[in-house]
Chains A and B, each alone.
Chain A
Amino acid sequence: MNDPYRILGISPDATDDEVKKAYRALAKKYHPDRYQNSPLAQEASEKMKEVNAAYEEILRMRKNGEKASYQSSYSGTYSSSSRYSDVRIMINNGRFEDAEDKLSSIPPSERTAEWYYLMAIISYHKGWLEEAYNYASAACRLDPTDSEYSSFFNRVRRQRSGDFGTGYSTQGTAGCCDGGCCEMLSCMLCSDCLCRSCCN
């Protein structure tokens, strides 16, 4: 799939507006936020790069002077001031089993909110979604103020309620993002929370 038009799923005769629309839909679909902590985060970011490159290629070919390129600002780094920075490094490097062993060796009395959060991430990655949900909920109970835990927990909760955040809802099944302003926000600011507040 090297034809930039094929990557965006449009024909070479598409108008500039159609190109932009297709690009935005795909940028939303492969958005790093949707794949955060997912086992497929890497693949999603490759897709994102592919889509970005295709879009830029088309823009270049059409020489419209429009340079509205999308920059992915996501870099999966965590803050280093954490007690479990070694576990976080293991997770970042994809060594999930080592990370799980390390966490399991910590006695129950010393398990903090962060411990539960990291266990949630590991379970989520493994596909053991119920454990992920339970750990994440425990992490938020222990520390309701932490935005890292609550943003993960909220995403999981939205998925459980049947909100899959797909870009597919052309027939209006998901109900979010009908207005152009939302579309732009979610594209540029990586934030489905902003999008929600604007639609509600």
Chain B
Amino acid sequence: MFGYLQPCKDEMKIKEYRLYKSVYCGLCRSLSREYGLISSLTLSYDCTVLAMLYIAVNDEKYCVKKGRCTVNPLKKCPVCESGGDAFRFAGAVSVIMTYYKLKDTMLDSGFFKKTAAVILRLIFRRNYKKAAKAFPEIDRLTDEMMQKQTAAEKNNAGIDPAADPTAVLIKQLCSMILPGKDHRMEVFGYYVGRWIYLMDAADDFEKDIRRGSFNPFLPKHDGDLKNTMSYCEEVLNMTAAQMILSYELLDIYCFKDILDNIIYEGLSYQQKKCTENKMNGKSKHRHDDPDI
């Protein structure tokens, strides 16, 4: 995934921020325990949210312990541990999706990126195999999604069909989180996936134009980036509105303040950051706050 699902830190209380960070560190720790230190490289904000959602809708028991950072043992940090499968699930999603994304990069990038992807893929191969064995369903769904995505891009699909594969994947992951085919979770997942895909498309818009790659917003582009970006914002707003409607029907047992922040503040904050940066001529915003 891409790291767009994040809380808006400025609007958080310190205790919420600490708890959020402890989930992030908890996922990192779980990843390195299950798949070795190297796999903590796959850690992302999206999977942190996935772990949090898992705990929140299942009312899983969790505790926050004092610990040390796995990557930098000199740093102390609170670490969240759950009594259930949340971190194992989110970790497997992280490893499997990264592996498939590297495959994608390998097929359509420049020489240097391609070489890096090949090497990384070799390194992650064993971890991927392990994750896929533990969660074959995630592996199957991701594989299916990648194939549908490639087909949609070949057909030069419009916005809705282009976003559909990612949306369906997250929908299915969400219905795995809460057993018993909960319709609310499925609809929520669909819009989360749709939003993430469209955010990524808006964020990559200029890069895709330069390279001549597929981008679902391209047919709407009249040459003026400002117009296209405000169009992107409209499309994202409508998706976010649907996400909010479905989110409000979920039974959230914990982490409610943090999840509320992500949904009510985080989404529009990320949108603005992406579209406004582009209108002001700055590119990529994704890596500008790694200080969590």
Q: Are A160 and B249 in contact (CB under 8 A)?
A: no
Task: Decide yes or no: A159 and B241 within 8 Å by CB, A1-B251, A40-B246, A47-B249 being known contacts.
Answer: yes
Q: Are B248 and A162 in contact (CB under 8 A)?
A: no
Instruction: Write out, one digit per residue, whether chain A residues 168-185 have a CB within 8 A of any chain B CB (1) or not (0).
Output: 100001000000000000
Q: Are A127 and B237 in contact (CB under 8 A)?
A: no
| A30-B249 Cα distance, complex, nearest whole Å | 8
| A98-B240 Cα distance, complex, nearest whole Å | 28
Residues of chain B lying within 8 A (CB to CB) of residue A30 = 248-249
Residues of chain A lying within 8 A (CB to CB) of residue B36 = none
Q: Are B264 and A127 in contact (CB under 8 A)?
A: no
Residues of chain B lying within 8 A (CB to CB) of residue A35 = 245
| A42-B182 Cα distance, complex, nearest whole Å | 13
Instruction: Write out, one digit per residue, whether chain A residues 122-137 have a CB within 8 A of any chain B CB (1) or not (0).
Output: 0100011111010000
Residues of chain B lying within 8 A (CB to CB) of residue A168 = 260, 264
**Size band of the interface chain A makes with B:** 20 to 34
Cβ of B13 to closest chain A Cβ, rounded Å: 13
Segment 45-72 of A: residues with Cβ below 8 Å from B: 47
The answer, among B184, B238, B244, B245, for a CB contact under 8 Å with A133, is: B238
Cβ of A1 to closest chain B Cβ, rounded Å: 7
Cβ of A9 to closest chain B Cβ, rounded Å: 9
Main secondary structure of the interface of B (DSSP, over half): helix
A104 within 8 A of B: no
| A110-B43 Cα distance, complex, nearest whole Å | 54
A20 within 8 A of B: no
B52 within 8 A of A: no
Instruction: Write out, one digit per residue, whether chain B residues 185-197 have a CB within 8 A of any chain A CB (1) or not (0).
Output: 0010011001000
Per the CB 8 Å criterion, the residue count for chain B at the interface is 30
Q: Are B245 and A127 in contact (CB under 8 A)?
A: no
The answer, among A1, A123, A130, A173, for a CB contact under 8 Å with B235, is: A130
Q: Are B260 and A128 in contact (CB under 8 A)?
A: no
Instruction: Write out, one digit per residue, whether chain B residues 248-265 have a CB within 8 A of any chain A CB (1) or not (0).
Output: 110100000000100010
Residues of chain A lying within 8 A (CB to CB) of residue B178 = none
Residues of chain B lying within 8 A (CB to CB) of residue A165 = 241
Residues of chain A lying within 8 A (CB to CB) of residue B268 = 162
Residues of chain A lying within 8 A (CB to CB) of residue B235 = 129-130, 160
Task: Determine the residue in chain B with the shortest Cβ distance to A42.
Answer: B183
Segment 220-258 of B: residues with Cβ below 8 Å from A: 233-235, 237-242, 244-246, 248-249, 251
Q: Are B183 and A160 in contact (CB under 8 A)?
A: no
B84 within 8 A of A: no
Task: Determine the residue in chain A with the shortest Cβ distance to B248.
Answer: A29
A43 within 8 A of B: yes
Instruction: Write out, one digit per residue, whether chain A residues 108-124 have a CB within 8 A of any chain B CB (1) or not (0).
Output: 00000000000000010
B160 within 8 A of A: yes
A44 within 8 A of B: yes
Q: Are A130 and B158 in contact (CB under 8 A)?
A: yes
Residues of chain B lying within 8 A (CB to CB) of residue A29 = 248
| A164-B248 Cα distance, complex, nearest whole Å | 12
Q: Are B242 and A38 in contact (CB under 8 A)?
A: yes
B167 within 8 A of A: yes
| A168-B248 Cα distance, complex, nearest whole Å | 10
Task: Determine the residue in chain A with the shortest Cβ distance to B216.
Answer: A130
Q: Are B187 and A129 in contact (CB under 8 A)?
A: no
A191 within 8 A of B: no
A80 within 8 A of B: no
The answer, among A34, A40, A127, for a CB contact under 8 Å with B184, is: A40
| A131-B240 Cα distance, complex, nearest whole Å | 16
What are 11 A-to-B residue pairs whose CB atoms are below 8 Å? A40-B183, A40-B184, A127-B167, A127-B187, A130-B235, A159-B238, A160-B235, A164-B240, A164-B241, A166-B244, A168-B264
Additional pairs, 13, CB under 8 Å, beyond known A35-B245, A44-B245: A30-B248, A39-B183, A43-B183, A44-B249, A127-B167, A127-B190, A130-B160, A131-B160, A159-B241, A160-B237, A160-B241, A162-B237, A164-B237
Q: Which 3 A-B pairs have the closest CB atoms?
A: A159-B241, A128-B160, A160-B234
